[in-house]
Amino acid sequence: MNRGEVVSGVALAALGGYIVSEAARWEYLGPDGPGPGFFPLWYGAVMIVLSAVLVVQNFLAKATVAGRPVNWREVGRVLIVWAGFVVSVALLKVLGFILSFGLFVLFVVAGMYRRPLRVAISVAVGCAAGFYLVFPFALDVRLPIGVLGF
């Protein structure tokens, strides 16, 4: 049994259930033809059926097929990077793009790739400055501005 498939199948079945329950509240067929609930109701129902097939298929195959083992160390590493990305997006309103992105680069280089702090700071400053020069300065593309005005 592939646990990833079972979990994703259950999640997709739940999503299908949500779609069907929402669509059921909207008009299905009106005097002018199909309403906003028509199409979602159908694809939501198909989603539930197919997710159920995915889950059942895995339970039936449990004796013969083993799922690919998950390397949780690798997944954990990715989740840490992703968490850093989420924090840098959350900080955009306060710190602005340049500072927030610079801190994210510092985190990736020093924390995830274990480069010396001196190298990490140089890369972070270089990337932040490069983005500023290319986007707002050269291409006139707006970037989020923080409380410090940049």
Partner 1 sequence: MEIFSGLLHGFAVALTPANIMWCFVGCFLGTIVGILPGLGPPATIAMLLPLTFLMNPTSAVIMLAGIYYGAKYGGSTTSILLNVPGESASVVTCLDGYQMARNGRGGAALGIAAIASFVAGTFGVIMLMLVAPPLAKFALQFSSPEYFALMCMGLAMVVLLAGKSILKAFLAMLVGLWMAGMGTDLFTAQSRFTFGQADLLDGIAFVIVAIGVFAIGEVLGNMETREGVPMLPVPKGLRNLLPNMEELKACRFAFLNGSVIGFIIGILPGAGSTIASFISYGIEKAVSRRPEKFGTGVPEGVAAPEGANNAETGGALVPMLTLGIPGSGTTAILLAAFVLWGLKPGPLMIQENPELFWGLVASMYIGNVILLIMNIPLIPLFAQILKLPLYILYPIIFGIGMVGVYSVSDSLFDLSLLTFFGLLGYAMRKLDYPQAPLILGMVLGDAMERALRQSLMMSQGDLSILVSRPLSAGMLVITAVILIVPVFRRVNALRLKAID
Rule CB under 8 A: say whether 141 interacts with partner 1: yes
Helix (H, G, I), strand (E, B) or coil at 19: helix
Which two three-digit tokens encode residue 30? 């009106």
Query: Which strand (E) or helix (H) includes residue 61?
Result: none
DSSP state of 66: P
Residues 1-40 that bind partner 1 (CB under 8 A): 4-5, 8, 12, 15-16, 19, 22, 26-27, 29, 32-36, 38-40
Amino acid at 30: G
Rule CB under 8 A: say whether 93 interacts with partner 1: yes
Let me know: does 149 contact 99? Beta carbons within 8 Å: no
Select the residue interacting with partner 1 from 82, 117, 125, 133 (CB under 8 A): 82
Amino acid at 2: N
> Residue 103 CB, nearest distance to partner 1 (Å)?
11
> Residue 104 CB, nearest distance to partner 1 (Å)?
7
Let me know: does 9 contact 52? Beta carbons within 8 Å: yes
Size of the site for partner 1 (CB under 8 A): 61
Dihedral, CA of residue 86, residue 91, residue 97 and residue 102, to nearest 10: -80
Rule CB under 8 A: say whether 104 interacts with partner 1: yes
Q: In terms of Cα–Cα distance, which of 70, 51, 46 is closest to 7?
A: 51
Enumerate binding residues for partner 1 (CB under 8 A): 4-5, 8, 12, 15-16, 19, 22, 26-27, 29, 32-36, 38-40, 43-44, 46-47, 50-51, 53-54, 57, 70-71, 74-75, 77-78, 81-82, 85-86, 89-90, 92-93, 97, 101, 104-105, 108-109, 112-115, 123, 127, 131, 135, 139, 141-144
